[in-house]
Structure 1
Amino acid sequence: MKNICFLILFSSPLFAQQNLKLWYDKPATYFEETLVLGNGIQGATVFGGTKTDQIYLNDLTLWSGEPMNPRMNPEAYKHLPSVREALKAENYKAADSLVKKIQGKFSESYAPLGTMYIDFPEKNISQYYRELDLNQAIAKVQYRADGNLIKRQYLVSHPDKVFAIHISSEQKGALSFAIRMDSKLKFQVHSTTNHLHMQGTAPVRADPNYVRKEGNPIMFLADKGTRFSTDILLQSTDGKVTRTDSSIVLTNGTEAVILVSMATSFNGFDKSPSREGKNDDSLAQKQLQDASLIPLKSLYAHHLKDYQKFYQRVSLTLGGKNAPELPTDERLRRYAMGESDPYLEALYFQYGRYLLISSSRTSRVPANLQGLWNPHIRPPWSSNYTMNINAEENYWLAENTNLSEMHQPFLGFLENLEKTGRISAQTFYNAPGWVTHHNSDIWAMTNPVGDFGNGEPSWANWPMGATWASTHLWEHYQFTQDKAFLKDKAYPLMKGAAEFCLAFMIKDQKGNLITSPSTSPENKFITPTGYIGSTLYGGTADLAMIRELFLDILAAQDVLKNDPAFTAQVKDALAKLYPYQVGKEGNLQEWYHDWPDQDPKHRHQSHLYGLFPGNHLTVEETPTLTNAAKKTLEIKGDETTGWSKGWRINLWARLKDGDHAYKMYRELLKYVEPDGVKVNYQRGGGTYPNLFDAHPPFQIDGNFGGAAAVAEMLVQSTATKIYLLPALPKAWDSGEVKGLKTRGGYTLNMTWSKGKVQNYTLVKQGGGTVDVYINGVWKKVSVQ
């Protein structure tokens, strides 16, 4: 069906499309200063050194462990009645203790594949320059060595499945270097003519970095674990290529191409990578051989055509006075002093989109806590899928910034989780449906974590992961209008998550439905007797997520009309949910009782879920509750960690307070000096020199949450309504955006000046009718 565009046109300023890039005048010293590249499964982290160029290599499917046993604690459900009895008796200390019996293993860890080194004999370096061009997804390094201009270009190609480096010398025959490999995993390296081969194995266990217990936290077994292979080919039109046992060397060349192919034996969450795995060696060799036959010019062309069809869907230009042409780290420092820099603000938004394209293109393997880029064998929080916010926040920008295809790995991952999650629901709760908890990994682990009784209940025993994640399925439908997806994939998963909620809830003394036991992720309450606890009943966050899922179920049935009995059951339960409560301070109450938090400024704000990312609390329709949510945010304050700040910007945007959202967006871009992997919440969230989110340490969810928030400030939507500039800050008085998506399946282009929309277009395949809020007035718009 052809696209029809509806256009309202007033006077329009002209904005030139910006060439957005990160650039620096020196090589990276820290991981948080590097340039990162990825094709959605393989990644490269480029330091750009002149004596040695260090490049971390990653594959999204390389994790510790093997398929886990979902029946690891088969009689855990027998402890549920005693937990509920303790709660009924108001014995919260006993409940905290007893609920630890409803725990299983920790997740596995995302593993680093290896490090590639390119050693150069260069001396007397000058005119150094390093950049990442977001429009091309290509990194560049150039400098003069003894006056000779050396250039390097790097890309990771999705269509040709190879990492390519092009190195050239201005002076003929003046290019020499050696290539070698290393890894923190078990590995071997050998060379053949023009080739370097590395093969290895990931650990069968890598304990989370926060676990401290006797014994080696890293365990390798010869006959288990995911295998990996890396093949490197050196191509040169001149010069001499030689090799040692573990390196290949080019001498006196002028131009060279290095092709790097990576593969693992991962073959699905439920298949042993050692016994039923893919042949990683053959895969790596074939990818390298196929790429070696493609001229470099064609390889670049394939890469650009593939990448730009996603990246170029959206452009953003913000008016105002830009900073001088400074290196990105200097721009960040200048910005931290309060200076204006709309270029940097747009750059951060598009960098979030770039990172999602680069790290989320693998079927049923979503971007993890670090996206795709990890140098640590025990990365922070295992670089896993943290399902109580972080994994979901990674995908807040997928639909509204026009990257719906990048949402698919997470949505497909839910299909894996549903299979193990049904067993977890049975064995941990004696319940139907499916469930997942605080952490997961590539093996679709769904059990409560905590190492069978050692985990703190405030995070280990939270059972709402499936409830939260399933709302992404309805969001995907709302933006794409893909009815087949809704019928065949989304609704069955949503229903399974809702079935667990229906079975898990009990009635309180007034007949309201509540969860029991209940926690509010990673936060704690203080009882009137002074006890600091985690385990209660009827937590607001639980019920907000259940309410959102139930509303999604009903909305889906308005479309599908194929499950009337379950619809009636959900509708009945929805009416009986324990309602939101406003506390004595005017805040939205987090706990069933109006009890204080142990940490009133806690980084989690899960009980505000209904405002964002949920949609059932709105300024227009639930003003009392949104005012209470605003009061909660005021009590919490603005100083928090990176991902939390990203969430709060979205919350302020939903409150239609653009200036407060912008204040926090500026704080999200606060410059943070790199310091490795030190956990230091007191430093607060911010941004490292390479624009990575500083939780700290690095977590990519802040990048994604911050980028999503920019779109949320510019346009908000329901199935039938679109709000233009709902939370526009004064600082963004003028600008232009193209390609943002809205619920209902519309694509928006818009220009504004002096805080008012000057023109906009809406495009929708198949047409439709929608109410548009523009410059304070509602207009009914027909797109035919």
Structure 2
Amino acid sequence: MAKYVYLLIALLIKVPAISQSDHILWFDEPAEYFEQSLVLGNGKMGASVFSGIKTDKIFLNDATFWSGEPVNAMMNPEAYKNIPLVREALNNEDYKLANELYKKVQGSFSESYAPIGTLFINFKHSKKAQNYKRSLDISNATARTNYNIAGTDFEREYFVSHPDKVMAMHYSTAGEEKLNFEIAFESEMKYEISQDGQTLAVNGYAPYHAEPIYNDVPDPVQFDANRGTRFTVRLQITETDGRIKISKNALSLSNASHATVLMSIETSFNGFDKNPATEGKDNASLAAQQLELASSKSFETLKEAHITDYQSFFNRVSLSLGDTSAPDIPTDERLYRYAKGAEDKNLEILYFQFGRYLLISSSRTKEVPANLQGIWNQHVRPPWSSNYTININTEENYWLAESANLSELHMPLMGFIENLSKTGKITAKTFYGINGWTASHNSDIWAMTNPVGGFGKGDPVWANWNMAGAWLSTHLYEHYIYTMDEVFLREKGYPLMKGAAEFCLEWLVQDKDGYYITSPSTSPENLFKTPEGYIGATLYGATSDLAIIRELFDQTIKASEILNIDSAFRNQLRTVREKLYPYKIGKDGSLQEWYYDWEDADPKHRHQSHLIGLHPGHHITPDKTPELAKAVERALEIKGDETTGWSKGWRINLWTRLWDGNRAYKMYRELLKPVKPSGLTFNYTGGGGTYPNLLDAHPPFQIDGNFGGAAAIIEMLMQSNENEIRILPALPDAWDQGSVKGIRARGGFEIDLDWVNKQPVNLNIHSPRENTVLLKFGSKEKEIQLKKGANSILFW
């Protein structure tokens, strides 16, 4: 109530309200739900901080802590024998039979990302707290909690350090009241707590199997003391003037004015193909070593190293969108104000930079990319297993990486793709009877690549899609074209791309007119409706399949030319690429999703996979393929703007590629629509948005909308391909002035840009070498000769 009184007085006496921050989230009460907590991470360890007054609850995660063990890729060795039968049914246009037969080409479900447990810091406060505030500063990745009790100021500060591999928590008071608290740990894992000198040690293990939450089966979570990934949590109090007491189950402090709590977490995960129980890392020793090294340093030393490391990524990009008059109110109330149409340019910047913050915080573990929830999850059976859903969601997680100058954080995905290629070769042989490698709808830390569905129990509409290997492989070329790292392309990228392309070459068949199509085929999670009224998923020649294959073939051809290798294979790709079944425009003017001009069972379906050629692909553009771009626009109009969080993030990017900045901006505002905490409530129809802590609401929570929405900001301001840079291609009217510095363009360029009245007034291109680039702004274009280093460009 006090803040509203302040704002009213400020208006009456014409005192300007303080502008809201573009890098701080803050709240005036503790978190009650996860979706209100403040998330911290060092790319491996994740912490969700609730900042309660009497109990400071913290959810703990580790990127490498999953249920399960190495996948048996040979789980269905004769599944491929069903492919000819499915194709025969499709040749006879018997889609119902094809759909039933395709269920025989299924394997197991993925495993689940698991929570480590919950830390409780229980305080003994004498009176009620006042002047409460908790905040997260994403410019230095630290969180704070402040309040006053009986005239004493209490402060807590938290961060998770990548250099020192610990979570550090500093508690202090200024006044007569003292710190008195007890630290306890609880988990739904199997675990034991012990005392090791002045350290509290927790050792436990994950289930060897956790069934997806949408499968109602007996004993869905299965533990065995001799199976599953091990974990260790170690806690220690340092730098204190109080009295430390430790028992078997708790660590306590009394009569202190200050204290630092350090925590290390390690798991036995040792690679996707190593049994974590018998071939795992020594998690107990690793956690002990990390804590011992960190405890020899002061909190300020740890903090300085943490901030220096974090800011080496975060400070690469800055964004300004001009003056703002938005008041300084808590972030949750700020979202509601914005949803009513109020101006808050700094909230728009905050959401963009929060996406970069989340990627830095969740994607720094070799071969373990950010999952559906980044690294933050409280459930043993989380939504969609918090796995890698690789029919869009994992890809969307990384749209931000290169353009937002976080290329190193793309590397965990690169390593994961290499792991998938190994199990994917077996999947290609056993499920499809062909060479190359492939991956399907879902995966997990064990690099599972088989079609899911529980060996025939799943609907092919989601279970049987098999183009993930091809789609993920386009990230390899994207990494190259942003970094121009030819060593990576030669040694890692191209061999993986070639393997995915080989699978596609052998998977394609020719239709009655000689065009190459996929058969059988599905369009991710969407259903068609035939003129006869049949609703199904399995057909041939889905547009999304062919769009992905076009993109992969184009990039593999380019990579082969750059490396000057595999000319025969390159020519084979070209020949087939030219004979792929062409895009078709339906009677309603939209780009067809299906081989025939059939209706969607749900015209407003959240997936828009047939539009991949526009985004994230590059072979549909308004200038080079205007009819197809118009058909994409019509498809988006039919689908509408109301959709789930990740889907809205994708649609914003699609509108930016159509150069409609105002439509993209409209949807960006809608992406920030406040959503109340929903727990495990699955809601496909209510529309996505943003939870109070700025995490994306599918709902429930999925992190891909954060990453997709942040990536779209850059697409509004700059788009590029190997040969050209387009400036302000989708700038909305609301952003008539501003500046951006440090974003990346394909070709290895770094861009600094200022604009006024929607016109660029300053452009600086940092080039890694002497180069030529075609610069475009609206209908104007100019070929620019670039020298190595900074190049200041004068506009027409």
| TM tier relative to shorter chain | over 0.9
Q: Which residue of 2 aligns with 1:494?
A: 497
- Is the CA contact 1:322–1:343 (under 8 Å) kept in the aligned structure 2? no
Structure 2 distance, partners of 1:718, 1:605, is 23
- Is the CA contact 1:191–1:248 (under 8 Å) kept in the aligned structure 2? no
**Partner of residue 542 from structure 1, selected from 534, 540, 545:** 545
Residue 510, structure 1, aligned to residue 513, structure 2: yes
Structure 1 distance, partners of 2:331, 2:731, is 25
1:322 deviates by 3.3
Residue 783, structure 1, aligned to residue 783, structure 2: no
Q: Which residue of 1 aligns with 2:214?
A: 210
Structure 2 stretches of 5 or more lacking a match?
A: 1-18, 788-796
Residue 370, structure 1, aligned to residue 379, structure 2: no
1:724 deviates by 0.5
The 1:417/1:599 distance shift into structure 2, 3 A limit, reads same
Alignment of 1:233-252 (within 5 A): 233-252=236-255
SS at match of 1:757: strand
Residue 93, structure 1, aligned to residue 96, structure 2: yes
The 1:613/1:414 distance shift into structure 2, 3 A limit, reads same
Q: Which residue of 1 aligns with 2:173?
A: 169
1:702 deviates by 0.2
Residue 464, structure 1, aligned to residue 472, structure 2: no
1:561 deviates by 1.2
- Which amino acid is the alignment partner of residue 170 of structure 1? A
Q: Which residue of 1 aligns with 2:688?
A: 685
1:171 deviates by 2.3
- Which amino acid is the alignment partner of residue 157 of structure 1? S
Q: TM-score, normalised by structure 1?
A: 0.97
Encode CA deviations 1:99-129: one digit per residue, 9 max, x unaligned. Answer: 0000000000000001000001122110001
Residue 180, structure 1, aligned to residue 180, structure 2: no
**Partner of residue 221 from structure 1, selected from 179, 202, 224:** 224
Q: Which residue of 2 aligns with 1:331?
A: 334
Encode CA deviations 1:363-403: one digit per residue, 9 max, x unaligned. Answer: 00000000000000000000000000000000000000000
- Which amino acid is the alignment partner of residue 781 of structure 1? I
Alignment of 1:271-420 (within 5 A): 271-420=274-423
1:776 deviates by 4.1
- Is the CA contact 1:263–1:280 (under 8 Å) kept in the aligned structure 2? yes
1:19 deviates by 5.4
Q: Which residue of 2 aligns with 1:11?
A: none
Encode CA deviations 1:551-593: one digit per residue, 9 max, x unaligned. Answer: 0011112211111110011011001100000000000000000
1:20 deviates by 1.0
- Which amino acid is the alignment partner of residue 30 of structure 1? Y
Q: Which residue of 2 aligns with 1:764?
A: 767
SS at match of 1:144: strand
Structure 1 distance, partners of 2:662, 2:600, is 28
Structure 2 distance, partners of 1:740, 1:566, is 35
Structure 1 distance, partners of 2:629, 2:37, is 41
Residue 195, structure 1, aligned to residue 199, structure 2: yes
Encode CA deviations 1:338-378: one digit per residue, 9 max, x unaligned. Answer: 11110000000000000000000000000000000000000
- Which amino acid is the alignment partner of residue 481 of structure 1? M
Structure 1 stretches of 5 or more lacking a match?
A: 1-15
Q: How many residue pairs end up in the alignment?
A: 768
Q: Which residue of 2 aligns with 1:598?
A: 601
Structure 2 distance, partners of 1:275, 1:34, is 36
Q: TM-score, normalised by structure 2?
A: 0.96
**Partner of residue 665 from structure 1, selected from 660, 663, 668:** 668
Percentage of identical aligned residues: 57
Residue 623, structure 1, aligned to residue 626, structure 2: yes
- Is the CA contact 2:152–2:176 (under 8 Å) kept in the aligned structure 1? no
1:298 deviates by 1.2
SS at match of 1:683: coil
Residue 521, structure 1, aligned to residue 539, structure 2: no
Encode CA deviations 1:162-181: one digit per residue, 9 max, x unaligned. Answer: 00000001126711111000
Q: Which residue of 2 aligns with 1:9?
A: none
SS at match of 2:478: helix
- Is the CA contact 1:202–1:227 (under 8 Å) kept in the aligned structure 2? yes
Encode CA deviations 1:463-512: one digit per residue, 9 max, x unaligned. Answer: 10001000000101110000011111000000000000000010000000
Structure 1 distance, partners of 2:754, 2:133, is 35
- Is the CA contact 1:192–1:243 (under 8 Å) kept in the aligned structure 2? no
- Is the CA contact 1:518–1:536 (under 8 Å) kept in the aligned structure 2? yes
Structure 2 distance, partners of 1:167, 1:345, is 32
Per chain length, whose mean CA-contact separation is higher, i.e. which structure has more relative contact order (CA < 8 Å, sep 6+)? 1
Structure 1 distance, partners of 2:648, 2:749, is 28
Structure 1 distance, partners of 2:664, 2:323, is 18
Encode CA deviations 1:37-88: one digit per residue, 9 max, x unaligned. Answer: 0000001110010000000010000000000100000000000000000000
- Which amino acid is the alignment partner of residue 546 of structure 1? I
1:681 deviates by 2.0
1:608 deviates by 0.1
- Which amino acid is the alignment partner of residue 439 of structure 1? N
